[in-house]
């Protein structure tokens, strides 16, 4: 198979020939059709996340069909289409796993980070952590549902019943979350980089009622905000935009340092929290919600061999929606 290999930070991704992986007990071997490209992939490539598997096949928003099911797999049969998300394995025994918080399992393995992912023609995955993809979604459009959608949805659930929702950073996750939030009857206020008129127009086209620069105050206080951009300076800005009793959710896996800020910004029972990873229950819930909205994803395709270019484009920002590798074109 062809696979894109990440060797270490500072070294360009390389497209190489590799033997096909083999499905072990409990695993499925997949033919990859599409794999989303995520901000987290950039954090790994930049050495901002600790101890990745090296060399590594990146990619944790995998859509593929089962080629072969390993011993003991009765959940999926050859030919079935499945999605593989970031959470690749958990211990099943720790206090987090036993209390519905497997996203916090200390021994968890993550697709495209501590185990090989989907920037390849074939991959293997633990069948218990895969889910069926809603039938109406083509492979490419389904890919960003698996992280941008799913972890964005988890972040949205932590805003409770907030009616006025602020979103900082309008990339792949926000373009999906805006649609879900509007469908739930919330009002969306989108903050983008200074002068990003294109991003603002895109946010409005998806239902945001107000758009502004992240340094601008919103026209009215917000009930909750979600920060998707990895920029710590947005935390005080988001707290300042959020009403008493409101929540600020940091949805990324990495963020630059948060500058010191006045206690007054947190006072008034505001909550500041992060969202880490996902549980399988999140995946099932979101895959059920997405077609009901229905969430429509904007996805720009890249051939497998151009994974490095896709990451460079993601770094540049200013994209409408998501990027994904397409392996069926
Ligand atoms: Zn991701
Ligand atoms: Zn565990």
Percentage of the chain lying above the pLDDT 90 cut: 98
C-alpha 105 – ligand 2 centre gap (Å): 4
Whole-number Å distance between alpha carbons of 246 and 259: 20
C-alpha 87 – ligand 2 centre gap (Å): 12
C-alpha 9 – ligand 2 centre gap (Å): 29
Residues 48-90 have pLDDT tens digits of: 999 999 999 999 999 999 999 999 999 999 999 999 999 999 9
C-alpha 283 – ligand 2 centre gap (Å): 18
Mean of per-residue pLDDT scores for the chain: 97
C-alpha 22 – ligand 1 centre gap (Å): 25
C-alpha 280 – ligand 2 centre gap (Å): 13
pLDDT category at 329 given cuts 50, 70, 90 is low
Omega of the bond leading into 121 within 30 degrees of 0 (cis): no
Stretch 21-47: mean pLDDT, rounded? 97
The ligand that comes nearest to the alpha carbon of residue 98 is 2
The ligand that comes nearest to the alpha carbon of residue 36 is 1
Residues 256-302 have pLDDT tens digits of: 999 999 999 999 999 999 999 999 999 999 999 999 999 999 999 99
């Amino acid at each position: 198979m062809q696979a894109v290999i990440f060797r270490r930070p500072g070294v360009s991704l390389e497209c190489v020939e590799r033997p096909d992986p083999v499905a072990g007990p409990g695993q499925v071997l997949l033919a990859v059709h599409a794999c989303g490209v995520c901000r987290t992939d950039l954090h790994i490539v930049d050495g901002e996340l600790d101890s990745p598997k090296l060399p590594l096949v990146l990619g944790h928003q995998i859509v593929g069909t089962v080629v072969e099911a390993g011993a003991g797999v009765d959940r999926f049969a050859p030919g079935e289409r499945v999605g593989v998300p970031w959470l690749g394995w958990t211990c099943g025994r720790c206090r987090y796993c036993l209390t519905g918080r497997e996203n916090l399992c200390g021994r968890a393995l993550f697709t495209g980070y501590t185990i090989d992912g989907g920037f390849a023609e074939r991959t293997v995955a633990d069948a218990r952590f895969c889910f069926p993809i809603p039938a109406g979604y083509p492979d490419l459009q389904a890919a960003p549902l698996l992280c941008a959608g799913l972890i964005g949805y988890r972040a949205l659930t932590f805003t409770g019943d907030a009616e006025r929702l602020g979103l900082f950073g309008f990339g792949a996750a926000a373009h999906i979350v805006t649609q879900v939030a509007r469908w739930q009857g919330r009002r969306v206020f989108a903050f983008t980089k200074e002068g990003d008129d294109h991003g603002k127009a895109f946010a409005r086209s998806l239902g945001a009622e107000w758009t502004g620069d992240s340094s601008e105050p919103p026209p009215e206080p917000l009930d909750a905000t979600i920060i998707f951009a990895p920029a710590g300076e947005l935390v005080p800005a988001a707290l300042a935009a959020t009403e008493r009793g409101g929540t600020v959710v940091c949805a990324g896996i990495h963020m630059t340092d948060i500058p010191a800020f006045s206690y007054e910004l947190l006072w008034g029972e505001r909550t500041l929290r992060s969202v880490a990873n996902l549980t399988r229950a999140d995946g099932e819930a979101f895959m059920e919600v997405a077609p009901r909205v229905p969430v429509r994803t904007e996805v720009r395709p890249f051939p497998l061999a151009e994974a490095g270019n896709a990451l460079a484009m993601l770094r540049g920002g200013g994209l409408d929606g998501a990027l994904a590798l397409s392996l069926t074109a």
